[in-house]
Copies of this chain bind each other. A is one copy, B any other.
């Protein structure tokens, strides 16, 4: 792996919330000032393939990602107010994997929960 890739990974590690590729580029430039846009996009694709990043929707037309460092299969809760991320176990049991679905063989799934994190929920609507 190259230094650039390492910078991108480190930048992703630094986010405690969901981020866009743009956010990632900015963060990666802290360590690798000259890193190019295409390089980051390519690194993101790589990491997504490797399961190191997961796309969790989009914000203003840009894809939103979450760093996925935990090994075990899991999903995410994303705060729609601040982007905070929490993990949640997979709610899909055997039923999702086996038949019962009209012969469908499920090979993968996408699960993301949205809501408000403890902080944003506490602040409440009046806190906005």
Contacts and interface: CB of A to CB of B under 8 A. Distances in A.
A111 B111 contact: yes
Given A93-B91, A101-B86, A114 B121 contact: no
B91 A117 contact: no
Q: Is the interface of A mostly helix, strand, loop or mixed?
A: strand
A118 B118 CA distance: 43
Contacts of A93: 91
| Complex copy number for this chain | 2
Given A91-B92, A91-B95, A96-B91, A114 B103 contact: no
Interface of A: 57, 77, 79-80, 86, 88, 91-93, 95-96, 101-118, 121-122
A104 B79 contact: yes
